[in-house]
Amino acid sequence: MNTPTGPAVPGSPGGPPDGSAAPGEPLLSVRGLKVHFPIRKGVLLQRVTGYVRAVDGVDLDVGRGMTYGLVGESGCGKSTLGKAVLRLVEPTAGTVRFNGVDVAGQSREGMRRLRRHMQMVFQDPLASLDPRQSVESVLSEPLRAHGFAGDRSRRVRELLDLVGLPAGAAARYPHEFSGGQRQRVGIARAIALNPELIIADEPVSALDVSIQAQIVNLLEDLQDQLGLTYVVVAHDLAVVRHVSDVIGVMYLGALVEEASSDELYAQPLHPYTIALMSAIPIPDPEVEERRRRILLTGDLPSPVDVPPGCRFHTRCPFRQPTRCADESPDLREMRPGRKVACHWAEEIAAGAIRAAASAHDPTATEVGTPSS
């Protein structure tokens, strides 16, 4: 799975202009990406009264054949970021380079051609499959649209085989499948045109626990077989850690930490990551009893009104009287391969600053006023 060498861009018609991608350059490179949604008021004039800053300046690189995991809680902008990479929502600012090609600069037709190399797997397979389309029709549509030269029904059977569905599934309709099988159809559709990059938005969270593992394993197998590059967007850090090489943790539209999957687990550096990891239940009572849980105070602030200074300071159990409230921390490289956006990461890692909130005091959970 960690093979850094994927297949070269197929030189088929409709391939991206094989641009300036130097060897060793990441397949996907995002710089300063912002997606702001305007909030309009008024009937006639539609004045813009503010912006939802869903994605607020994100830089990231995804190497060929790697899996980049994007985690965060609802409303942190992780799904919007995934869509902005494919230009399914239009970025407000910043650049996305795929295989050396500037995605934002593409014309409509250029974008259509580019998309065969970058595909998406959605969370809810029932909602993302047309109920009136048979699986055969679902899977042959992208082949038709992109002028696939070979035998389409043979390719459909090949795809079904790749995702572990029987050939007889082609004649059936989405409602005839279980959730796990439907997600297999969604994955088959995504790989139909041999893409290089797949963005999977919560690929397993709508499935029963016993089924989740089947889909996780399938995604891993396909990556090995087809040399795919993944961006996996999910809220479940245990799943993301399992599949990803590198993980980016998002909070309120920005990356607050980025590290290799193993290092992130071994030592989370950002206070939000520390709290997030401590909140994830582990199915082992012995471990659960030994763990120290860091409870966050209050709820996620609105992305319309992002707190000044560090965006996490209103809930941060490690908040300090200086810098946090008025100075916005950059995502900086603390040591090689470890990026963190916190002024006090070194002190927290060294144990010089400790979390303030008590884990067993329910009254400590108050919005915006961390007990100190």
Q: In this structure, what are the phi and psi dihedrals at residue 95, rounded to the nearest 5 degrees? A: -125, 150
Q: Does 372 bind other proteins (CB under 8 A)?
A: no
Q: Does 172 bind other proteins (CB under 8 A)?
A: no
- Applying CB under 8 A, among 233, 275, 348, 349 the residue interacting with other proteins is 275
Q: Does 293 bind other proteins (CB under 8 A)?
A: yes
The C-alpha atoms of residue 69 and residue 76 are separated, in whole angstroms, by 14
CB contact burial 154-181 (16+ within 10 A = b; e otherwise): ebbbebbebbbbeeebbebebeebebbb
- Which of 95, 365 has the CB closer to other proteins? 365
Contacts of other proteins in 219-248 (CB under 8 A): 220, 235, 237-239, 241-242
> What character string, x for contact with other proteins (CB under 8 A) and - otherwise, covers 12-51?
----------------------------------------
Q: Does 265 bind other proteins (CB under 8 A)?
A: yes
Name beta bridge partners: 51: 38
Number of chain positions touching other proteins (CB under 8 A): 56
Q: Does 107 bind other proteins (CB under 8 A)?
A: no
Edge to edge, the sheet with strand 47-62 lists: 47-62, 28-41, 93-98, 101-102
- Applying CB under 8 A, among 181, 183, 229, 314 the residue interacting with other proteins is 181
CB of 159 to other proteins, least distance (A): 20
CA neighbours within 13 Å on the CB side: how many for 209? 3
- Which of 118, 135 has the CB closer to other proteins? 135
- Which of 1, 111 has the CB closer to other proteins? 1
CB 257 within 8 A of CB 348: no
Q: Does 178 bind other proteins (CB under 8 A)?
A: yes
- Which of 283, 321 has the CB closer to other proteins? 283
Binding window for other proteins (CB under 8 A); candidates: 26-34, 136-144, 145-153, 291-299: 291-299
Q: Does 285 bind other proteins (CB under 8 A)?
A: yes
Q: Does 306 bind other proteins (CB under 8 A)?
A: no
Q: Per the structure block, which two tokens stand in for 204?
A: 């397993």
Q: Does 369 bind other proteins (CB under 8 A)?
A: yes
CB of 208 to other proteins, least distance (A): 4
- Applying CB under 8 A, among 3, 20, 46, 217 the residue interacting with other proteins is 217
Q: Does 74 bind other proteins (CB under 8 A)?
A: yes
CB of 351 to other proteins, least distance (A): 21
Closest to 62 measured CA to CA, from 45, 85, 39, 44 = 85
> What character string, x for contact with other proteins (CB under 8 A) and - otherwise, covers 338-367?
---------------------xx-xxxxxx
Contacting positions for other proteins (CB under 8 A): 1, 73-74, 178-181, 208-214, 216-217, 220, 235, 237-239, 241-242, 261-262, 265, 275-289, 293, 295-296, 298-300, 359-360, 362-367, 369
